[in-house]
Amino acid sequence: MKELYKIYRYCMRSRNLQFKVNSYAKKSKINFPVHFAFGHEFVSSLVKLFIEKNDKLILSHRNIHFVSLFSKNPEIYYKNLFINKKKNNLGSMNYHEKNNQIAYTSSVLGNNFSVACGISFFAKKKSVVICIAGDGAIEEGSFYETLSLAKYLNLPLVFLIENNNWSMYTKINERRCNINLKKVCESMQIKFLKLQLKNFQKSIKNYKKMISYCRTTSSPIVLELPVKTYGDFKKKKYVNYHHGVLSNNVKIYNKIYFEKNDLLFRIKKKIR
């Protein structure tokens, strides 16, 4: 219960920060698409709970749920980005701060897989590198290449796939065949687990076990986490995909604040 309570606190911190960033982005004249991750907060909270000092994170374009928990001062970071227009900010959805466990983020899809391989090659003993990517990114050839290299080199690398079923504005079945990650991993003798976030307590236990396996055996693992992104309207149609500021539509806010199936809502009920 203590773990669940902590996760809830992290989730809330991340979600509240995202609303704040949305308000900065609205005020700002700079227009670049921060990819919100409403609905993904459980994933970053899980990672935050079990991360150790020398572990590193390698992220993609959708990284705000991690930045909100790993930046020392995420509010200032995003204020500098949108409002203060500091000279040295990156001016994009990519994140960088010195001396942070987030070692790299990339908006080039699939590019973070190979970087994660390189960084995990030099990982300190008993530390792991966690590489986050989506169901779209695994369509890139670099995913397959890095899996086989990570296995060959025994890299302590966690491929954490946030499967929200969307890439840009298409669903999986509108753009490609199904990729059976379990079978892909089996073919290379890589440990794989699909976490069912609906059963959040079991997911916490399983995640802990899998990370510990990667850490102690120095072997790559793949974790698939099905998530539902709270999306936005696109040409008057609601889609579970999102980038840029939230539309000024009360339905969007109602969904994020009040949906009963929301994991945050369900966790809150459990810890009461």
Q: Which is nearer to ligand TPP, 119 or 132 (by Cβ)?
A: 132
By the rule CB under 6 A, 222 interacts with ligand TPP = no
Q: Which is nearer to ligand TPP, 25 or 109 (by Cβ)?
A: 109
In the complex, the smallest distance separating the C-beta of residue 58 from Mg ion, rounded to whole angstroms, is 17
Number of residues that bind ligand TPP (CB under 6 A): 14
- Which partner, Mg ion, ligand TPP, none, binds residue 61 by CB below 5 to 8 Å per kind? ligand TPP
Q: How far apart, in whole angstroms, are the C-alpha atoms of residue 44 and residue 215? A: 18
By the rule CB under 6 A, 164 interacts with ligand TPP = yes
| Angle between the N-to-C axes of helices 200-217 and 41-50, in degrees from 0 to 180, rounded to the nearest 10 | 50
DSSP state of 34: -
Site residues for ligand TPP, 81-140, by CB under 6 A, read 107-109, 133-137
* From 8, 77, 82, 166, residue interacting with Mg ion (rule: CB under 5 A): 166
Q: Which is nearer to ligand TPP, 166 or 192 (by Cβ)?
A: 166
Q: Which is nearer to Mg ion, 134 or 220 (by Cβ)?
A: 134
Question: Token pair 């399983």 is at which residue?
Answer: 206
Please report which helix (H) or strand (E) contains residue 219, including its range.
Answer: none
- Which partner, Mg ion, ligand TPP, none, binds residue 39 by CB below 5 to 8 Å per kind? none
**Is residue 198 exposed (0-12), middle (13-18) or buried (19+ Cβ within 10 Å)?**
exposed
By the rule CB under 6 A, 166 interacts with ligand TPP = yes
By the rule CB under 5 A, 135 interacts with Mg ion = yes
By the rule CB under 5 A, 134 interacts with Mg ion = yes
Record the tokens describing residue 224, joined without a space: 């698939």
DSSP state of 84: I
* From 45, 60, 101, 164, residue interacting with Mg ion (rule: CB under 5 A): 164
- Do residues 38 and 21 lie in contact, with contact meaning Cβ atoms separated by under 8 Å? no
Q: How far apart, in whole angstroms, are the C-alpha atoms of residue 97 and residue 141? A: 29
Q: Which is nearer to ligand TPP, 82 or 166 (by Cβ)?
A: 166
Q: Which is nearer to ligand TPP, 129 or 227 (by Cβ)?
A: 227
- Do residues 272 and 6 lie in contact, with contact meaning Cβ atoms separated by under 8 Å? no
**Is residue 155 exposed (0-12), middle (13-18) or buried (19+ Cβ within 10 Å)?**
buried
- ∠ Cα 255 4 72 (to 5°): 80
Which residue type, as a one-letter code, is found at position 209?
K
In the complex, the smallest distance separating the C-beta of residue 164 from Mg ion, rounded to whole angstroms, is 4
Record the tokens describing residue 155, joined without a space: 């890299």
User: Nearest residue by C-beta to Mg ion?
Assistant: 134
Residues of this chain that interact with ligand TPP (CB under 6 A) are: 61-62, 107-109, 133-137, 164, 166-168
